[in-house]
Structure 1
Amino acid sequence: MLRRIVLITLLTSSVCALHWEMHKEASIGNGFEENSGEIETEQLPGKCWACKWVMKKLKKQLSNGATPDDIKNKLGVVCDEIGFLKSVCRKLVNQFTDILVEELSTTDDAGTICANIGVCKKQAWS
């Protein structure tokens, strides 16, 4: 019985500590980005993951000579394959279509593209 109480207490405190760290990290940020409203970073759960998934999928499907119209057409149908994050994917694609067309024309990888549009955080090493 005592072990269960200690285990529950440890689990609860771990969850609280994790929540506190996430809250503290979210409250620290660049004032320009928060106030400008231009970049919506990680507003929906799974948005970064969905972005990376879509970009990887599209990078595999697109040839080097793909036209902007080809890229737009692929962007229009790629979200049908993502499953339960379909609505997140469609919102992302609709919001950033023009930028994504331009980004998909480069040699950048999926993570870099998603960081460039502000959906994912930039990695310290990139």
Structure 2
Amino acid sequence: MLRSIILITLLISSVCALHWEMHKEESNGNEIEEGSGDIQTEQLPGMCWACKWAMKKLKRRLSNGATAEEIKKKLSMVCDEIGFLKSLCRKFVNKYMDTLVEELSTTDDARTICANIGICKKKAWRN
């Protein structure tokens, strides 16, 4: 019972924090639509995670020789499965549709795809 209460409390506080961040972004101007570059998109809370989540799902579902139309169709459906980030995911997919189709046609992994379009920070190469 105590464990359930703790989990529910954590879930509620996470949702509230995300809602507050999204509300703060809206009051400052929605940067995913109006931003002049990819750097601002990277700063949106949860975008890197959401991008990697969606790209991993899509990479698993796409065959090696998938056409651009097949990729677009799957891209438009993937956001339905993400839960409360659905609207943010759809804006992201619509904004980067052509780039995502190109990136998903490569052998790059989800993290690389999201870094290439500027949603996630690129990892420094270590020697």
TM-score w.r.t. length of structure 2: 0.68
Residue 37 of structure 2 corresponds to residue 38 of structure 1: yes
Gaps of at least 5 residues in structure 1 are 1-35
Q: How many residues are aligned here?
A: 91
Identity across matched positions, percent: 73
Root mean square deviation of aligned Cα: 1.5
Aligned to 2:5: none
Deviation of residue 125 (structure 1)?
2.5
Do the aligned residues in 2 keep the contact of 1:114 with 1:120 (CA within 8 Å)?
A: yes
Deviations 1:30-74 (A, max 9, x none): xxxxxx923243232100000000000000000001000000000
Instruction: Give the AA of the match of 2:63.
Output: S
| 1:66 match: secondary structure | coil
**2:76, 2:41 → 1: CA distance?**
22
Aligned to 1:85: 85
Gaps of at least 5 residues in structure 2 are 1-34
Instruction: Give the AA of the match of 1:117.
Output: I
TM-score w.r.t. length of structure 1: 0.68
Mark the structure with the bigger radius of gyration: 1
Q: Could you tell which deviates more after superposition, 41-50 or 88-97?
A: 41-50
- The list of structure 1 runs, each at least 4 consecutive aligned residues, that deviate by more than 2 angstroms after superposition, is none
